[in-house]
Amino acid sequence: METKKAANKDLILREKLALQRTVLANQSTFLAFLRTSMYFLIAGLSLRNLLKIENSLLIEIALFITSFIIFVFGTINYFKHKKSILENKKHIGDYQLEYYKL
């Protein structure tokens, strides 16, 4: 009987650690979107000084728009997954009642 209680505590710890890894992965993904967006922004800002192209303004605007779209998509993706993680956190571990009774 005692081993069952220890197994439940161990299972709860694993689930909490898995949730923490998922949260960190979500944050890491958001930072990757942010970094990519900044790359496009910097490319748009430095294009005029780096290359002497006639229609560089159109290319700059396209890079700025792409940067903004990537940033918005990354932000929406982050909050959508954050909400999903929080909703699933409630359903994980029917063992919690047994754990808190101990």
pLDDT, tens digit only, all 102 positions of the chain: 445 555 566 667 777 888 889 999 999 999 999 999 999 999 998 887 787 777 788 889 999 999 999 999 999 999 999 998 888 776 665 544 444 544
Residue 91 CA from chain centroid, whole number:
21
Angle in degrees, CA 73, 68, 66, rounded to 5: 95
Residues 54-73 have pLDDT tens digits of 778 888 999 999 999 999 99
Cβ-based neighbour number of residue 5 at 10 Å: 14
Residue 84 near residue 68 (C-beta atoms within 8 A)? no
Q: Helix or strand or coil: residue 94? A: coil
Instruction: Indicate the DSSP class of residue 92.
Output: S
Unique residue bearing structure tokens 């490319």: 43
